[in-house]
Structure 1
Amino acid sequence: MIEIVSLETATLGDRSYLAHDGSVAAVIDPQRDIDRMQRLAADLGVRVTHVFETHLHNDYVTGGLALAAEAGAEYHVNAADAVAFDRVPVKDGLEIAVGDMTVRALATPGHTHTHLSYVLHAEGSDTAVFTGGSLLYGSTGRPDLLGPEHTGTLARAQYASAHRLADVLPESTVIYPTHGFGSFCSATQSRATSSTIGREKLANPVLTETEERYVAELLAGLDAYPAYYARMAPANAAGPQAPDLSAPRRADAREIRRRIADGEWVVDLRTRKAFAAGHVAGTLNIGLDGQLATYLGWLIPWGTPLTLLAETPAELAAAQRELVRIGIDRPAAANVGTPEEWSDGSPLRAYPTATFADLAAVLHHRHVHVLDVRRDLEWTASHLPGALHIPLAELADRLDELPDGEVWVHCAAGYRAAIAASLLDAVGRPVVAVDDDFSNAAASGLV
């Protein structure tokens, strides 16, 4: 009997998979921190003999090459991908035996030009298909990550690929996508946790709408994606090695002050409430309790030395693990402790947090500036009258557009607003972070 086990990386919105027959295993789209997959294989008592990539990923650095090397496994990558390492090339229609399982490659371009899906057959088990960034739950992978000159072509290829999967596979085929669980590689998000070809044929727009309508709706729904995505495919083509997750060098309070003065990034990983209550002047807040890698990677000028501040060694280690997944391999330095220790007696900074009800009450008595840091499509759907809109990803370069005076900054739930508030506080702007769900803005009479 075949078993397929998913390994979720929730903060990036992705899943990796291990399929085994009780003895040997195939791994599909492993993340950079391969020790998780190695532990999973060991716990199951199976040996990884094959590693498959559906595509050169745009949202994370793969662990495929390193895992295959350490396991002594075959590493399967599309023959059409130009890569700088030895691999077992795969092309459309190729079948590969993995113990009692057979894996067949299907060309499914759309997310990338060379995207592959892998169909898994085994006697006595339902057919399964690993669809990567092709057919997702209720959606498809986005087609715009390779540049605007490719977007239209890839959108139509995505439609054709989804229909190919629906046409050649039984309706009972279980779908195992890599993206679609919060990843910006997904065109839209779904709450589904599992699906089949049959279910998608009933509900997925790519399989229920005409090609013209699907393409038009897909392109209209695309919004910004993290800037570091542009670096992921070249890193994956170069052949990333296993990451170094050893503890970074410790920076004392004097070094922390120097690094801030030099314009480096010193990131406080604590929760947004803890940071607002007291932090070292000039530090930025990107909490470990949210999408740390996504937003740090999106915002930091690539190559800027990074120092991490955490309350515990475990939190620091978790942050390192998050960051190696997007190619930020080694922090320049780190410190574990409290803001009082990091400041070495210098006065801490703080700023207020508030709700939308608080904002509504304040606006009845005095004027404050309201800054909305959500993405463009969020702003278009609904926003506060009179608010200034600067997406978080653009804020550092557009600070001079903010008028003088107190700024109340909000997003959809508080996490991005906290990052923005720390950016404003670091340059000395009076700021209030709205730590509230945007749905409460209407209840407070603001929309």
Structure 2
Amino acid sequence: MNAPQTRSLASPIVDEGLGNSAYLVDLGDGRALVVDPPCDTRRLRVQAGRAGLRIAFVADTHLHADFLSGARQLAADEGAQVLASAAGRRAFEHRGLADEDEVDLGGLRLRALATPGHTDEHLAFLLLDGARPVGVFTGGSLIVGAAARTDLLGAERTEELARAQYASLQRLAALPDHVEVWPTHGAGSFCSAPPGADRTSTIGREKAANPLLNAPDADTFTARLVGNLGSYPAYFDRLTEVNRQGPAIVTGPPVLAPLNVDQARALLADGAVVVDVRPVADFTAGHIPGAISNPLRPQFGTWLGWLIDPDTPVVIVRNPDQDATDLSWQALTIGHQNLAGELTGGITAWQSAGHALASLGLVDAAHLGDRPVVDVRQDAEYTAAHVPAAVHVELGAIPEHAAGLERRPYVVMCGHGERAVTAASLLARAGHHGLAVLAGGPDDWAKATGHSLQAGR
């Protein structure tokens, strides 16, 4: 079989919200291989359909912690054969692979390479055309400019797995320089991917530029990797087992049940929470008291799963022009299946029923003045540059720290305003008053005031 040019063999389908890539590989005979698909397979199916491909194989590089895998779904819907590590002990039908096992894809071959570190059972998949390796699906081992985190199995195993990750990267670095690197995790992923636009690379480029791949020894590698591990969403701790058992088969697109005001109020009285997905300006102008803001955007699912317990029923409030299907798929992708429904008529219906609204301030950088600031960005963002004297609490830690935070009329800030409004809504739920949200971020403050940002802690 004469394979197409290397770069056209694997087409990444990028989830900008989760920072991950799935891959579609044209096998040249009307069939396709899919690697690391999420449970929302709509874009994969569209791309395969446009190319006239039937999905025959689906491979998972590891037991994913950051999204529900679509492998079992594609097996059910398309008859695809699931390829995965035998050591993962998946509880559904699949072909279990061990190190150096090969799968004939009908001309191309897929070779499993044991690459533990991100997880114990992690496999990379080397794609070969005859004897020539053309690309490697590296999952959560070698990623562009870095390597994926090794602390998902607990702090007591982080260093051990980091040393395993070092050995795995050295194994991959021994591949020829021309071999394409097709990682799952990329910019925006909480699996320790650095910022950057590149989703794929080559072995040669990574050997030249990846600081972790260039570590002179295991000790240096471990110190560099572990020293840069940030926080990660709470749902990471439960999705691995869901993926091992096999996510439930989705028989139709997820939908939001309609709820009238009385039904919504009854749910709230019974412990449900309102998640308001409207834009920042809409939420700050008026919202249901106690509502948590989480503006609908590609990162909606991440913050829903991070901040809302999966056992807590959720009542959605949205604007009519916001996509309920996108919202529901994002929730399902991170394993949040407790959306009780949406308030029919939205905030207007709530007002029309005679119920009060709450509000938050919204200020621009030029009018921040000397008000105290809470910066809710990730630690690495804050350390790089922040407004002097800003109190730093990551958004994911706000529920834990809100009660102990000094009661002051804070302006809450992030990079643009979306995370800030979520944090402000959580602080309001915890009894803080006089809050405002900054429309913008540190760069806007520096530009508006002419003052310099501060680096470090």
Q: Cα gap change, 1:383/1:38 in structure 2, threshold over 3 Å: closer, same or farther?
A: closer
Q: Point out the more displaced range, 374-383 or 210-219.
A: 374-383
Segments ≥4 residues shifted beyond 4 Å:
123-126
Shift of 1:84: 1.6
What is residue 67 of structure 1 aligned with on the other side? Answer: 74
Show CA shifts across 1:159-198 (max 9, x none).
Answer: 211111111x221111111001311013433332331111
What is residue 232 of structure 1 aligned with on the other side? Answer: 239
Tell me if structure 1 keeps the 8 A contact 2:313–2:338.
no
Tell me if structure 2 keeps the 8 A contact 1:270–1:288.
yes
Gaps of 5+ in 2: none
1:201 to 207, 211, 217: 207
Tell me if structure 2 keeps the 8 A contact 1:31–1:60.
yes
TM-score calculated relative to the size of structure 2: 0.90
**Aligned counterparts of 1:249 and 1:83: Cα–Cα separation in 2:** 33
What is residue 272 of structure 1 aligned with on the other side? Answer: 280
**Aligned counterparts of 1:338 and 1:81: Cα–Cα separation in 2:** 44
**Aligned counterparts of 1:314 and 1:272: Cα–Cα separation in 2:** 14
Shift of 1:115: 0.7
Show CA shifts across 1:36-92 (max 9, x none).
Answer: 323322221112111111000011110101111221121111011122222111011
What is residue 16 of structure 1 aligned with on the other side? Answer: 22
1:260 to 250, 253, 268: 268
Indicate the SS of the match to 2:403. helix
What is residue 331 of structure 1 aligned with on the other side? Answer: 339
- 1:408-423 to 2 correspondence within 5 Å? 408-423=411-426
Are 2:353 and 1:347 aligned? no
2:304 to 285, 296, 304: 296
Gaps of 5+ in 1: none
**Aligned counterparts of 1:312 and 1:32: Cα–Cα separation in 2:** 26
Q: Write the letter of the residue equivalent to 2:10.
A: I
Are 2:95 and 1:95 aligned? no
Are 2:308 and 1:308 aligned? no
Aligned-pair identity (%): 37
Tell me if structure 1 keeps the 8 A contact 2:148–2:191.
yes
Are 2:394 and 1:391 aligned? yes
**Aligned counterparts of 2:377 and 2:149: Cα–Cα separation in 1:** 20
1:188 to 194, 211, 235: 194
Tell me if structure 2 keeps the 8 A contact 1:137–1:200.
yes
Q: Point out the more displaced range, 245-254 or 48-57.
A: 245-254
Indicate the SS of the match to 2:339. coil
Shift of 1:330: 4.5
Tell me if structure 2 keeps the 8 A contact 1:316–1:336.
no
**Aligned counterparts of 2:310 and 2:404: Cα–Cα separation in 1:** 24
Are 2:41 and 1:34 aligned? yes
Q: Write the letter of the residue equivalent to 1:170.
A: P
Indicate the SS of the match to 1:303. coil
Tell me if structure 2 keeps the 8 A contact 1:33–1:242.
no
Q: Write the letter of the residue equivalent to 1:97.
A: D
Q: Cα gap change, 1:214/1:191 in structure 2, threshold over 3 Å: closer, same or farther?
A: farther
Tell me if structure 1 keeps the 8 A contact 2:275–2:315.
yes
**Aligned counterparts of 1:151 and 1:247: Cα–Cα separation in 2:** 39
**Aligned counterparts of 1:403 and 1:238: Cα–Cα separation in 2:** 44
Tell me if structure 1 keeps the 8 A contact 2:192–2:230.
no
**Aligned counterparts of 1:430 and 1:260: Cα–Cα separation in 2:** 24
1:78 to 70, 74, 85: 85
Indicate the SS of the match to 2:316. strand
Aligned length: 440
Shift of 1:262: 3.8
**Aligned counterparts of 2:407 and 2:148: Cα–Cα separation in 1:** 42
Q: Write the letter of the residue equivalent to 1:16.
A: A
**Aligned counterparts of 2:20 and 2:10: Cα–Cα separation in 1:** 16
Tell me if structure 1 keeps the 8 A contact 2:182–2:199.
no
1:45 to 45, 52, 73: 52
**Aligned counterparts of 1:49 and 1:83: Cα–Cα separation in 2:** 19
Q: Cα gap change, 1:290/1:271 in structure 2, threshold over 3 Å: closer, same or farther?
A: farther
**Aligned counterparts of 1:314 and 1:271: Cα–Cα separation in 2:** 10
What is residue 429 of structure 1 aligned with on the other side? Answer: 433
2:118 to 89, 111, 117: 111
Tell me if structure 2 keeps the 8 A contact 1:256–1:342.
no
What is residue 376 of structure 2 aligned with on the other side? Answer: 373
Indicate the SS of the match to 1:267. strand
Q: Point out the more displaced range, 50-59 or 178-187.
A: 178-187
**Aligned counterparts of 2:292 and 2:90: Cα–Cα separation in 1:** 37
Q: Write the letter of the residue equivalent to 1:441.
A: W
